[in-house]
């Protein structure tokens, strides 16, 4: 083997591929906030529809037309109150919601001029104004004497905690990681939520009082559900998903094969992006928002070629068309209808991946066409979904591999509720988690009140 060839087979992975200015530009706000005048102009585009379809499309039922109408008159606090009373993490949702498949998809403006009202940006405008002014809209009811344990300080847990604190209950949140926020803190592409927003939002939420957060407390390791049942009047589980799916291929544990969820967290927590190593050629396998987020970010960190490979066609992709377009605009190449079949390694490090071309059958199943291709890779990111792994004692009934809950988010064991990504019929969205927490708080409150009467 010539020296050149040997060198070519060395993985090309390094940090500091870009200048400080390039990092700053690449990781600036994905959707910059509206200025004061732009917000008025955009709000003026809203028709204030009767029984507005956008509200119907919002999982938390925010009165969208109502709050936009308030922005029109400069009543930003009134708008923020309307948003936050339905969704206390409305500031996060304004940034991370796939609005193009929710409220903005329902906007009647789509039918008129193919451009919906920018509801997400308007929501951000109002909530940011209230948060910047430290304007609180809710206060704690007198102490009920009841205590609730919440496991997980993500959107579901925080939403539930706020709903309970408003009603006078004392809440203790057990969070496994060092920081609160869940996926808002660890699981988002950095450009979706800047300026330490996740932390600021939590500070704003817990300012209501009656909420204590204990970090470094992992369910199943530091305590069990049974402990909480003994010590508290009710328990809410908002524990998310703690494991990732595997490709099931040999070589999956080779160097350079990385879980996208882990690397996204690393990027998000990194103080200096120049310290993060990225491959010259990166492959991403998956089709959800995690796949889009990792592919885009690796590209923006300076990777030369980033290819996202998805097993089905663009319409079947869980990530919306807008997200697919976004990552393509940033320079990611998407290959559809290809399934990874073999990971090649050199010296214990991934060097390339072999794919089989697939074809979707009428019944939705995938067929291998027998053709294939191979792509070189210095890094391979897997983003094929997360799963529930936590052992819960006492055991709860499951559904679709996750915790089974009813319409009020009650689990199968009395006194236990659950919400967010860990439940079986969840939508894997921040906004859905917020709704779960809100509904659970209402149900827990009713439970606590009735149990109080019995005493």
In the complex, the residues that contact another protein under the rule CB under 8 A are 37, 40-41, 43-44, 47-51, 53, 72, 108-109, 111-112
Rounded least distance, CB 54 to another protein, Å: 11
DSSP assignment of 78-141:
HHHHHHHHH-TTHHHHHHHS-GGGTHHHH-THHHHHS----HHHHHHHHHHHHHHTT-----PP
CB closer to another protein out of 38 and 427? 38
Rounded least distance, CB 122 to another protein, Å: 13
Q: Which of 172, 167, 199 is nearest to 186 (CA)?
A: 199
431 neighbors 97 (Cβ within 8 angstroms): yes
Round to the nearest angstrom and report the end-to-end CA distance of the chain: 82
CB closer to another protein out of 6 and 133? 133
- Residue 448 and residue 411: Cα distance in Å, rounded? 16
Rounded least distance, CB 52 to another protein, Å: 8
CB closer to another protein out of 50 and 455? 50
Rounded least distance, CB 114 to another protein, Å: 11
Residue 76 in tokens: 């930003």
Residue 151 in tokens: 């496991």
- Residue 451 and residue 449: Cα distance in Å, rounded? 5
CB closer to another protein out of 41 and 133? 41
Where in 176-219 does DSSP place strands (E)? 211-215
Rounded least distance, CB 120 to another protein, Å: 19
CB closer to another protein out of 123 and 259? 123
Q: Which residues of 233-254 are buried (b: 16+ CB within 10 A; e: fewer)?
A: bbbbbbbbbbebeebebebeeb
CB closer to another protein out of 10 and 112? 112
Rounded least distance, CB 131 to another protein, Å: 23
Q: Which of 120, 84, 33, 121 is nearest to 201 (CA)?
A: 84
Helix (H, G, I), strand (E, B) or coil at 339: strand
CB closer to another protein out of 125 and 167? 125
Rounded least distance, CB 78 to another protein, Å: 15
């Amino acid at each position: 083997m010539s020296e050149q060839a040997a060198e070519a087979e060395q993985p090309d992975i390094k940090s500091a591929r870009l200048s400080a200015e390039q990092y700053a530009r690449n990781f600036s706000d994905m959707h910059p906030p509206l200025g004061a005048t732009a917000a008025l102009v955009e709000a003026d585009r809203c028709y204030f529809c009767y029984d507005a379809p956008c509200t119907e499309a919002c999982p938390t039922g925010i009165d969208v037309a109502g709050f936009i109408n308030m922005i029109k008159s400069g009543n930003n606090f009134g708008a923020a109150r309307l948003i936050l009373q339905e969704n206390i993490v409305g500031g996060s949702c304004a940034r991370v919601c796939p609005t193009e498949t929710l409220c903005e998809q329902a906007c009647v403006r789509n039918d008129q001029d193919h451009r919906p009202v920018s509801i997400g940006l308007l929501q951000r405008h109002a909530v940011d104004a209230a948060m910047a002014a430290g304007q609180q809209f809710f206060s704690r009811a007198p102490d009920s004497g009841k205590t609730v344990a919440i496991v997980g300080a993500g959107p579901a847990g925080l939403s539930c905690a706020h709903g309970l604190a408003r009603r006078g209950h004392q809440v203790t949140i057990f969070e496994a990681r060092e920081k609160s926020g869940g996926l808002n803190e660890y699981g988002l592409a950095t450009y979706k939520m800047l300026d330490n927003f996740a932390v600021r939002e939590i500070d704003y939420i817990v300012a209501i009082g009656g909420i204590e957060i204990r970090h470094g407390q992992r369910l199943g390791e530091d305590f069990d559900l049974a402990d909480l049942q003994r010590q508290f009047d009710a328990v809410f589980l908002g524990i998310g998903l703690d494991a990732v799916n595997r490709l099931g291929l040999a070589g999956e544990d080779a160097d350079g094969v990385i879980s996208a969820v882990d690397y996204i967290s690393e990027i998000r927590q990194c103080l200096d992006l120049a310290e993060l190593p990225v491959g010259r050629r990166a492959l991403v396998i998956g089709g959800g928002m995690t796949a889009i987020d990792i592919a885009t970010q690796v590209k923006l960190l300076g990777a030369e070629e980033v290819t996202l490979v998805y097993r089905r066609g663009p319409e079947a992709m869980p990530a919306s068309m807008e997200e697919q377009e976004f990552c393509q605009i940033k320079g990611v190449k998407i290959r559809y209808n290809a399934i990874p079949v073999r990971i090649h390694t050199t010296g214990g490090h991934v060097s390339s991946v072999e794919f089989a071309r697939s074809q979707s059958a009428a019944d939705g199943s995938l067929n291998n066409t027998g053709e294939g291709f191979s792509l070189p890779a210095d890094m391979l990111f897997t983003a094929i979904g997360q799963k529930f792994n936590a052992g819960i004692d006492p055991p709860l009934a499951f559904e679709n591999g996750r915790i089974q809950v009813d319409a009020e988010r009650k689990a199968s064991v009395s006194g236990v509720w659950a919400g967010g990504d860990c439940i079986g019929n969840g939508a894997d969205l921040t906004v859905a988690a917020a709704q779960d927490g809100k509904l659970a708080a209402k149900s827990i409150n009713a439970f606590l009140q009735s149990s109080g009467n019995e005493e």
